[in-house]
Every structure is written in structure tokens, then in C-alpha cells.
Amino acid sequence: MLARSLLRALPLFGAAFKALAQTTSWTDPANTITFQAFTDPVHNVTYGAVFPPLSANSTEFIGEIVSPVANAWVGIALAGAMVDSLLLVAWPNGNSIVSSPRYATDYIQPTWYNGATLTTLPSSTVNATHWKWVFRCQNCTVWNGGSINLNSAPTWAWAVSTIPVDTPSSANSTFVEHTDFGFWGEIVAEAHASASDYATWASGGKVAPTSTTSVSSSTTSTSTSATATVTGTPYDYIIVGAGPGGIITADRLSQAGKKVLLLERGGPSTGETGGTYNAPWANGTKQLNRLYWIPTDQDFSTANGWPSAWTNHAPYTAALQARLPSTDHPSTDGKRYLEQSATVVAQLLAPQGYRNITINSSPDSKDHVYGNSAFDFINGKRGGPVATYLQTALARTNFVYKDYVYVSNVVRNGSTITGVKTNDTSLGPNGVIPLTKNGRVILSAGSYGSPRILFQSGIGPADMISVVEGNAAAAANLPPTSQYITLPVGENVSDNPSINLVFTHPSIDAYENWADVWSDPRPADAAQYLKDQSGVFAGASPKSEGITSRGRIGINAALTALPLVNPWFTDPVDKTTLITAINDLLTTVYTVPGLTLITPDNKTSIVDYVNNYDPGNLDSNHWVGSNSIGSVVDVNTKVIGTNNLLTIKFVVDASIIPALPTGNPHGTLMSAAEQAAAKILALAGGP
């Protein structure tokens, strides 16, 4: 029962990573302040910081942001993440700069943080092309839940938006999500000034500058000259997204001797990847969800939207099972724990003619059956591609994995793909990573991420490419309009509607609703799991249904992927079917001693309950279909319209699945990745 609410969404961006661009010493001639500074070459924003002497053990620093006016607001996250980090946000308002310290405990609008004091220094300016914010940040090296190590090189994060804040004159203004974000290594250990220089700068004065070293900038007139050019390493395959599809594909391609680069926007997840707690993370939602349904023949049938060449999924599903064995008793002692609910469910279903089976031993048996949930656990621990496929890939010298890399678009020359554009300038000039001759790009960024990248690459419906054209920074990376490729990217989206019924029964152990299972578990259960991975913690919680409704995924002005049309109950038959199923389920509820339905209550009919269910709670995060095979990608998962003899682009993630499978889609996705990798390798003209 770990998947429901145990893992708090706290991205771990706290340590410097080798792939990140690092700051260098740079003196702003306008104010003589010498910063450890970094310039993001994509948006041409310079970020700098200088601290008092290390011996002073101070809690403040002086910072500087220099930005083109195209960026309506710019922010810094001192912990390298939005959540539980001190955030500094600024924007121009007329001829002045408005700023505020912010804080967020979740991915919501950050609110004012009372612990820090920001003072805008006199050398701050606004002109026709740029705005510059020079500021003193007091009580800023320690905040709720975090701090800056003053003798280290922490990872800091930047965020920019081309969309103005709602009330520019107010430091408390709300604003929409950033247009882009990224990371850099701020070498705080080398950013300490003398006490006298720091005091002079903090008061708005100037000192005689010492030696200067440039930071890179291509257009910012107030910045300095460019640093040495970074040469990008070419790869046979660049795979964008380290979810289950991306990891499995990367492992199989590198196993075949191809030079493979796997890019992940998030960071480490489990211990195998260096993580302790994190989301977003390598392996995406698959690292959270250990429910494991072996796909049925129906799941890969032509009736379910698959080409006939995909219907023979058996050898690929077998290859998947060889790496990821299924179990319905994940504890190493062979026992099942917290089985009270299973006993009650059996009492509920048996009178209705349901048979108890081992789910994954009979994957095609789906009519009036039930069984213990099947999971992807190995030796009492969560398995999955990170624990298996990624580990074998990492052992190969021809495989490279980089996290915290945001891919904005593929680099195109007509229908030829020459590389990908990222936020990481250490991987290539201006963040561009090239392909080898005949190299290929594979998008595995998920049902939201892959469509966004296609839109930003000039591939998709005209209205979505038009949104990209309206964003100055993103529009600069689009190919000529004559090279746009019109495809139904983002259409045909489906997701399981999640309608919850709540029962009570005197035998059920709610296990404190799992509220403090990480921080304060029951001592005996924790000791048992740590000893041999057995007991209560060697389990997870299931949910699955099927639908025929369809929706649409697109992007907004901030280039954030989101549902444009929700996929739940657009076909009224789905709602009718669901209501019938719930009523069927409840026919025997009163035959189970002690079982009581409390949601909905006894005054609410099932029809009213479903009709009035909050649409915001329907999401099961089982999104598939936004790059459906047959309409966006062909039988080889190649994006339609990118066919040439040089480089082509593929999509291998849940977005290619044309319709929801019978069970949780993860098993179907991983089998599809096995098959896609084989088809890509067999396709002529590759590296």
C-alpha cells in the first residue's frame, strides 16, 4: 500500500552535478561588484552572487540578475527546486524593479516568505533592451527546511517567464508558471569577498575592480564576452525521458552496441540512481506505481487500435517478464500482510460469481475474476526498469545518462533531425546535443512531455504550433513554416476515470492511513523490513478501470502541457457503464457482516454521486494516446513525416498506446518498449 500517499513530492536538486554549467568570477563594471556568475545562453540571463568572508559566518549575500526585457519575470531557487526552497523573484515595472522572497510547500503559487529581507541596490537599472536587479539578500542562507553551505558549490535553479505578472506594481503579485527553467552550479566557496569590499557594495558604493573573467552571453549588452565554445559529443541515439519506455529502449539499443544518451528532466529516485527522496525523477510514475499487469492479447489487438504487426506481443512480453518477474506476495518471507481488505472483497465478490485466480498467471482471464494484486517487486524491494534495465545500461561504456536536462525541442533541417536543444550548455553549444551520421532521436517524455517537444519542433496541429510562435524564445527555435509537419499530436487521449467508493469494516487495519509511514513507522514493521525486506512495507496499492472516451492534450502560453479537453465521460456510454458496474458491485455489500458504504452516503444515489463527482478528482494518471500509433507515429514508432535517409525521430512512451489496456498501462507500455526497440534496430538507414 505504498503507492497511494507515502512519497511526498519533494524534488532533490540540492547537490551540484558534473553536467551542470558552473559559475566563474566576473566583475560588473557598472558597480564594480565581483560575482561568481553564470549566463544562461538560451535566454541570455546572467545570474551572480557574492558573499561576505567565510569567517564571518554571515546569513546574507549580494545577488544580481541581468535579463533581456523579453523575460517578463525571472526567479532563483536557492535550493535548486521550487518546493521547500527560498525563492527570489523579480520583474521590471516602468523604470524600477519589483521583487519579493517567496516560498512554496507544493507545486502551487509561491507566497511571501517573511524570514528574508531584500534590498534593491542603486545600480539596478531598466532600459529599452535589458533590466538589471542588484540586491542585498539578508537572512537568506537559512530558511524553513534548508540552507546554503557557504563552503560548497550547490545547485541553484533559475526560472524565466515571457508572460508578465498579474500586478506588476505589487511585490505580492501572482503569476503563471514559468516558461522555462534550468540549473547551474553556484560556486559559493569561491564567492567570498573581503569584509571591506562587501560592506562597500552592500551600501551601494564602488571599489576598484580586480581581475575579471568573462561569463558567456550572446546578446546582453551589459554582460561580458563569451567563454570558450563547448563542443557537443554526438550520439547514435538521443533518448529524451527516463521513464519506463526510455530506460528499456536505451538498454536494448546500448546492448546492440549503439552509442546512447539518455536524458532525464528530473533527478535521482531510488538508491540505485543516487536518490533519497524525489519527484520528478528517473523512471517517472513507474517508480511510484509498482502495480504490474501483464498485458493481454486484447491489449495489443487491432480492435484496440494497434497495427497488425504489433499483435504478436508474446516474445516481447516474455522478454519483459524475464527482467521483471511478477509476484502477488512481494514480502521475502512469502507471506501477505494487511490482508483484511482482500478477505472482505472476496466476501463481496464471490456471491456474484467471481473466481479467485492468480492475476498474471492468466492475463487473458478478465471476466468475473479477482485475485491478489500483482506487483513488480524483486527481493522485497520495488523492481522496475531502474533496478534492472538501467543498471545493465549503466555498466556499458557506450551508454551515458544525464539528469536535470530539459529538452525544449529537436533541432531540424526540414525532415532531418540533427540533435536536441537543451538547457544544459555543458552538453553542447547553446545546449544543443548533436547526433552522429544517421543518428536518431527518440522521445520518451510521456503523454504530456513528448507532445510538448513535438509542438516546439514544429510538429502538430496548427493551433498548437501557433502557441509556440507566440513565445519569443521558443519561436526562435522553430523551423521555417514551410517545414511544419501537421499531425494530430495531442489528440485521442484517454485516462481511467477514478471514482472512489469508501467502505468501513471492523476488521480493516487502516495503518494510520499511511500518514507518517516514512517518518514514524511502527517500529516492529520497520525493523522487519530492514532486516530482510519482508512484512508490511513490501507491498503497494492498486486501482484500474477501462474507458472509451477521448480528450486532448495541448500547451498554454507558458508552453506548459495540460489537458485542453478532459478525457473522462466524453462518451456518455462510459458513464452509463460505470454506474451499472458500481450498482452491480453493491448488490452484495449488505451480505458482508460489518461492511458499510459511507461514500456516497445512504442519502445519495449512485447516479447523483457519479454525475456530481468533482472532475478534478477523476485523474488516474494513466494518460495514453497523445501520439497514437497509426496517426502520429507509424508501425516502427517513427514520427510520420520525418522519413528520410539521414535522421528520423521516434516516440516510445505511453503516448503511442492507441487505447487504454485492460489493466494498469505500465505492463503494456514496457512490452511496447521492448517491441519498439527491436523495430527501431531493424529499420534500415540507422547508425
* Three-state SS letters, 396-428: CCCEEEEECCCEEEEEEECCEEEEEEECCCCCC
In this structure, are residues 401 and 407 in contact, taking their beta carbons and an 8 Å threshold? no
- Is 622 catalytic? The answer is yes
Q: How far apart are CA 32 and CA 11, in angstroms?
A: 36
In this structure, are residues 314 and 296 in contact, taking their beta carbons and an 8 Å threshold? no
Q: Which long-range contacts (CB under 8 A, 24 or more apart) does 195-201 make?
A: 195/52, 195/53, 195/56, 197/34, 198/50, 198/51, 198/52, 198/53, 198/62, 201/31, 201/32, 201/33, 201/50, 201/62, 201/121
In this structure, are residues 143 and 103 in contact, taking their beta carbons and an 8 Å threshold? yes
Please name every residue paired with 49 in a beta bridge, in sequence order, or none if there are none: 36, 63
Task: Find all residues with CB under 8 Å of 426, minimum gap 6, and list them.
Answer: 19, 20, 21, 230
In this structure, are residues 360 and 525 in contact, taking their beta carbons and an 8 Å threshold? no
In this structure, are residues 50 and 62 in contact, taking their beta carbons and an 8 Å threshold? yes
Q: How far apart are CA 668 and CA 308, in angstroms?
A: 16
Catalytic residue, from 43, 178, 192, 622: name it.
622
By CB atoms closer than 10 A (0-12, 13-18, 19+), residue 672 is: buried
In this structure, are residues 673 and 244 in contact, taking their beta carbons and an 8 Å threshold? yes
Task: Find all residues with CB under 8 Å of 50, minimum gap 6, and list them.
Answer: 33, 34, 35, 36, 61, 62, 63, 191, 192, 193, 198, 201
The four Cα atoms 287, 288, 293, 295 give a dihedral, to 10 degrees, of -50
Q: How far apart are CA 348 and CA 582, in angstroms?
A: 13
Please name every residue paired with 440 in a beta bridge, in sequence order, or none if there are none: 237
* Three-state SS letters, 227-284: CCCCCCCCEEEEEECCCHHHHHHHHHHHHCCCCEEEEECCECCCHHHCCCCCCCECCH
Whole-Å CA distances, 443 to 79, 394, 446, 539, 555:
29, 20, 8, 31, 17
Q: How far apart are CA 662 and CA 299, in angstroms?
A: 7
C-alpha cell at 172: 505580492
Q: Which strands sit side by side in the sheet containing 180-185, from one edge to the other?
A: 111-112, 96-103, 87-93, 73-77, 155-161, 180-185
Cis amide bond preceding 600, omega within 30? yes
Return the active site residues: 622
